[in-house]
Structure 1
Amino acid sequence: MRRCLGAMLLSTALASASASASAGEARIDPMQPDLQDKASLQRGMKFFIDNCQSCHSLEYQRYSRSAEDLQLTREAMQERGLLPPGGEFHGPMRSLIPAEQAADWLGVAPPDLTFTARRRGSDWLYAFLDGFYRQGGPDGAVDNLVLPGVAMPPVLESMQGVQRRMCADGRAYDPDADDADACRRLQVVEAGSMTPEAFDRGIRDVSNFLGYVAEPSRLQAHRLAPKVLAFLAVFAFIAYLLKREYWRDID
């Protein structure tokens, strides 16, 4: 059964008052999308479909566009589970749960994620997915380093494991007693189903994929760039020869 990213980024609206851009946010390391890494983009698409699409849509991205850009045939999409049941190859990547039904279950419909990476950045997405932790015991309250006051469960916790927020001296973070800026380290205290390396690769891949989805035309731009530069180089050489011919008899 597919897991979904809960109401990922739905929590942005629910917790916006406590998630200002200044105080309390974690340092976000650069995580630029690598659009040349087709394997990463394909894995990221698979991760999204398996873990996110139950709740979230990519309304402005079509399966066929992803297949073309990621060099996948329709048959390969079906074999690898990249075209879920009921999904139309030339249709948009809609969530598997109707928005009205999701709104009834969650209180509000989970947001479309097509342009999230453009608004927030792939590095923000990566840090957000990696930033969930529990306060106290395994059943303690959930928070997020990147989005303090987050109002969603850590839906990837079964894969990542239970994380605790630690201070520089090795103590568990106590929000009532400790300085938040001095306690920025997360530590897995209960292992999940994936190794830390495998989980890190998974959230990097899906962040990479969402970075591609936000601006798929960049893949075409990358393919055209060498040809354009070659044309400009040839044109510049011809222009130089023409200029030299025009001015050869002028003192």
Structure 2
Amino acid sequence: MIHPFRWLLRLALALGLSCAALTAHAAAEQERIALQHAPYRVNDLLALQNGAKLFVNYCLNCHSAKYMRYERLRAIGLTADQVQKNLMFSESRLGDTMKVAMTPAQAEAWFGASPPDLSVIERALASHRGSGADYLYTYLLSFYRDPTRPTGWNNLVLPGVAMPNPLWPLQGERAAKFVLTKDPAAAGLQLKRFVAYEQLTPGSLSPTQYDSQIADLVAYMQWMAEPDQLERKRLGVIVLLFLALLTFITWRLKSEYWKDVS
């Protein structure tokens, strides 16, 4: 699908506007980066518990998870007491859903739009580019400092994002380096291509440690989107084994019944 902005540029070129003006506008169009493959840790309870801790500390301040109840966290190996003492920072009860205190009006004033609910965001972001987990993993690893943005942050996966990097104390501050390249789909137009990051300030974690923390956080959001997925897969294996056994028994019965038929 052609990006609307790119389509307008091509139309303007066809109408005879100057190539210099077109190039100046086209240079602002950023090339879409490929998604990284997110490590699969949904079957790792320790990773899910760490991801839940990261979620309530860094995501739940602005984003709600209104289809997830705190009591469901017991399914990842936490006790009710652990959930209440370590993961609940308001007057919510164990049976309540994960809501935020920020109102839609406040979100509109501070961010320009209300932050989306994250209950099933992992499933909602799946596309031909990759899974929702791949998108979230790459997105959370792709923030960089941008003084032209109101929040001072931008993102390679979602350019112009209104959300700042919530985990920057862990990752540190980075700048992104770009170069202008020719657009292979349109002569005379240019794309802004990402080259590398430049670390501006260190974070509290090393790059390897930070990547692992993001993998845990994404694994939790992947589990939260479908808490029964491991049970569903376990039952699926049992059903397939049962059907295989039933097929074998049926085949042997058929052979026994028809062995005397010429």
Whether TM exceeds 0.5 here: the answer is yes
Structure 1 residues 7-86: aligned runs within 5 Å: 24-31=31-38, 33-68=40-75, 70-79=76-85, 81-86=86-91
Give the 3-state SS of the residue equivalent to 2:78 in structure 1: coil
1:125 deviates by: 0.9
Partner of 1:180: 192
Q: How many residues align?
A: 222
1:117 deviates by: 1.0
Output one character per residue of 1:195-241: Cα deviation in whole Å (capped at 9) or x when no partner: 22222111111111111122223122122133223322321222122
Task: Give, in whole Å, the separation in 1 of the partners of 2:109 and 2:157.
Answer: 27
TM-score by length of 1: 0.76
2:252 to 223, 241, 249: 241
Q: Which moved more, 1:143-152 or 1:31-40?
A: 31-40
RMSD: 3.1
Give the 3-state SS of the residue equivalent to 1:180 in structure 2: strand
Task: Mark the runs of 5 or more structure 1 residues left unpaired by the alignment.
Answer: 1-15, 169-177
Contact 1:28 1:123 in 2 (8 A): yes
1:87 corresponds to 2:92:
yes
1:219 to 188, 213, 230: 230
1:107 deviates by: 4.2
Task: Give, in whole Å, the separation in 1 of the partners of 2:146 and 2:230.
Answer: 42
1:32 deviates by: 5.5
Specify whether residues 83 and 242 from structure 1 end up closer, same or farther in structure 2 by C-alpha distance, changes over 3 A only: farther
Task: Mark the runs of 5 or more structure 2 residues left unpaired by the alignment.
Answer: 8-28, 126-131, 180-189
Larger Rg: 2
Task: Give, in whole Å, the separation in 1 of the partners of 2:64 and 2:158.
Answer: 21
Q: Which moved more, 1:195-204 or 1:52-61?
A: 195-204
1:150 deviates by: 2.0
Q: Which moved more, 1:196-205 or 1:140-149?
A: 140-149
Q: Which moved more, 1:51-60 or 1:235-244?
A: 235-244
Task: Give, in whole Å, the separation in 2 of the partners of 1:17 and 1:152.
Answer: 23
1:132 to 124, 143, 151: 143
Partner of 1:11: none
Partner of 1:3: none
1:104 deviates by: 4.7
